[in-house]
Structure 1
Amino acid sequence: MDTELARTFLAVISAGNFINAAERLHVTQSTVSARIHALEQQLGCTLFVRNKAGTTLTAAGRQFQKHAGTLVRTVEYARHDVGVARGFRAALTIGGRFGLWEQLLLHWLPRMRELAPDVSVRAEIGMEADLMQGLVEGRLDIGVMYTPESRPGLTVERLLEETLVLVSTTPRKSGLPGNDYVYVDWGPELPVIARTSPISSARRSR
């Protein structure tokens, strides 16, 4: 089975309809329709019910969904494992959290290139959930983030502590924010005021 058909199937589920899926895949709506039709012919069943509200999975579609995800992940893992570019002895895929690239990973990449010029490096950016999923699925070798999860087959190491400091244009005797303080919620991973937040890396165990 062509994995592009499975990818299109998953894109339709994620997007909710054929039009949005076409935009995400950068193809025409007719291409998406043709791929889904070809997939349904191969499987011998109807996968979607199309209506004004969008698309709904049939019972057969729900059953195929888990297989489609496994198929796509397996191909990605195989491509990553064996698809080393010519002139390199190995490939490394690293993912980093938004906010850690500018001050940390952008400095690490040239250093890595200098120390291991024969290793092909592919870099991705994302949030913790995406990075962890990439590690679990085998798309990433290393993920750099604030709150990695402990999973079987993964090794988690603390890299450094990042200190967050409250900065104000108005001196404050107490050091605490006043009424004009603007609170920015960066999520549960980051503390609010003047605390340390550990930056860690998770990698797939070899």
Structure 2
Amino acid sequence: MRLPAAAVWQTVHSERRRLVADLSGLSEDQWRLPSLCPGWDVHDVLAHLVDTARTGRAAFVRDLLRARMDFDRANQHGIVRHKRRDPRDTVKALMEAADLTRTPPANLATRLVEAIVHGEDIRRPLGIAGSYPEPAIVQALVYQMRTPVSFGGGRERVAGLRLVDRRTGAIWGQGDDVEADAIDLLLAVSGRRLDRERLTGSGASRLAGASTAVPGARRAHDR
């Protein structure tokens, strides 16, 4: 079941505020920890979330043209634009943008992918437990499974696999089984490395091997 647009935005706004609360009181060293997003530290991912929260359709097109149609370059420009010298100011900037409903010209499910996957990119290296609404995770997962890697999804990663949510028993796809919590399935399909024990089943090794950094991997949820 797809969430209506109002529910998607309610979830996104809530996740932004929850992340702000989780990041209060971090040490300087914690801000520099590598995130799950290849090449970015925790502060970089936070600055990126500020950028995407403030980027609408027109700004997205403008930024992409300035970056010569390179998504990764456009994302990097956005980080530079919003990454404050003091990470606490970047946290404040996300709080100020928390209730915005700007989006690029893309499926609205990308906003859920953005909020959830980047939330885990930040929380897991910091040892912070995340909790997300199950319908939002499922909608983000289904979107990623249907979207090619070249467009930031994970369709090729799940080809010939049957994903099973070990908590609810929900199933997606056909083939060798991969059983995990839905949030871990979403991260793996989105190209994030996971602790191997989080995935079980005959297809687990294949999905874990596919969940590596690839050029343009950040496009899954960016913009």
Greater relative contact order, per chain length (Cα 8 Å cut-off, separation 6+) = 2
Taking structure 2 as the reference length, the TM-score comes to 0.27
Higher-strand-fraction structure: 1
Higher-helix-fraction structure: 2
